[in-house]
Chains A and B, each alone.
Chain A
């Protein structure tokens, strides 16, 4: 079975400060890893994904994440956040086969303060 743990339910940060949202996963098979963002009353937007290859993955809006297989982690980082980054962020995992099934973490609310 696969599982995802997002270590922080809320992360407050001041505008232009760096931020890291933490994600650990558990799986007995090869996985794909994802970060999604959700704005109020909206669906999920893909920020970035790790499928294979380079462990440092760059996404949209200046976000990046690093896949660490030994620590089973996939932490999301941004060097300088904006007010508009305030949203809920979800880490997700799927097995690397042909499946549409995603297992999500509980989410981290990023609160960017002026």
Chain B
């Protein structure tokens, strides 16, 4: 079956702009989690959505937001981009939680 699909794979944005990243989970999965990966901070949890509701949230500013649709696809939005938002953004999907999570290939965001 198809894996977790993240689009786009690469993105270049200008400081101050906003960006939307998309994650299509494995069919039947209801949980989608988002992570930010940077060389300095490593892999950090952003938030998790389960059946269209935010179930967990990490320690990121309000500029980072997300949502999940009825088909379990999820989007994350970053407003007023800063240079420090340059990172690999990964999403993971699972049926119920981390015990069976599968990761997508990631979206590489570069803010210039």
Contact = CB atoms under 8 A, between A and B. Distances in A.
Contacts of B35: 102, 104
Contacts of A97: 97
A57 B31 CA distance: 25
A32 B56 CA distance: 17
A4 to B, nearest CB: 10
* Interface residue SS majority, chain B: strand
Given A32-B98, A90-B43, A100 B31 contact: yes
Nearest to B91: A43
A104 B43 contact: yes
Nearest to A96: B99
Interface string B91-107: 01010111101111110
A40 to B, nearest CB: 11
Given A43-B90, A43-B106, A46-B102, A100 B97 contact: yes
Nearest to B58: A101
A43 B98 CA distance: 16
Interface residues of B, number: 29
B55 interface: yes
B33 A101 contact: yes
B45 A101 contact: yes
A94 interface: yes
A44 B4 CA distance: 11
A34 B35 CA distance: 16
A99 interface: yes
Given A43-B103, A43-B106, A102 B98 contact: yes
B90 A100 contact: no
A99 B50 CA distance: 9
A61 B84 CA distance: 36
Contact of B101 (A51, A102, A103): A102
Contacts of B44: 104
A105 B42 CA distance: 8
B25 to A, nearest CB: 11
The 3 closest A-B pairs by CB, nearest first: A94-B98, A104-B43, A100-B33
